[in-house]
Amino acid sequence: MLFPMITKQIKCRHCRSANIIRHGLTANGKQRFLCQDCGRYSRENPQPNGYTEPEREMILRAYDERSSLRGLSRTFGVSRNTVTSWLKKREESAASGSHSGRARPAKA
């Protein structure tokens, strides 16, 4: 008994073209696709990059509770540069008045 071949139509996430070919594997073993129209790469089910908003808030709350950047790096496995970037963004949004977050208190 022969089974019919199942094909799945994949479209480019960037230009919505159906002119897609398989183009190797990613570092974690997932199939990578190349759009022949726009030349960009994509995956079928991409995962979001970075940290979720609740994770980010938890790490920043720990910083507000006087944890050091190195301590946060050890505890949460997040880079010091990442936390610094989040703090700068929070300060910028607080300066513009769009966020109610407070700046880290000065050491006594």
Q: Which residue has the higher pLDDT, 106 or 48?
A: 48
Please name every residue paired with 42 in a beta bridge, in sequence order, or none if there are none: 33
Alpha helices in 1-108 (DSSP H): 53-64, 69-76, 80-95
Instruction: Give CA 23 to chain center in angstroms.
Output: 23
42 and 57 housed in the same domain: no
Domain count, the chain: 2
106 — pLDDT class (breaks 50, 70, 90): low
Q: Is residue 107 assigned to a domain? A: no
- The answer to whether residue 3 is domain-embedded is no
- CA-to-CA distance for 30 and 8, rounded, in angstroms? 16
pLDDT tens for residues 33-78?
999 999 999 988 877 778 889 999 999 999 999 999 999 999 999 9
Tell me the three state secondary structure of residue 23.
Answer: strand
Q: Is residue 101 part of a domain?
A: no
Residue 102 lies in a domain: no
pLDDT at 100 over 70: no
Predicted confidence (pLDDT) at residue 2 exceeds the cutoff of 90: no
Q: Tell me the C-alpha distance between 60 and 53, whole Å.
A: 11
Domain that holds residue 75: 53-95
Question: Within a domain: residue 106?
Answer: no
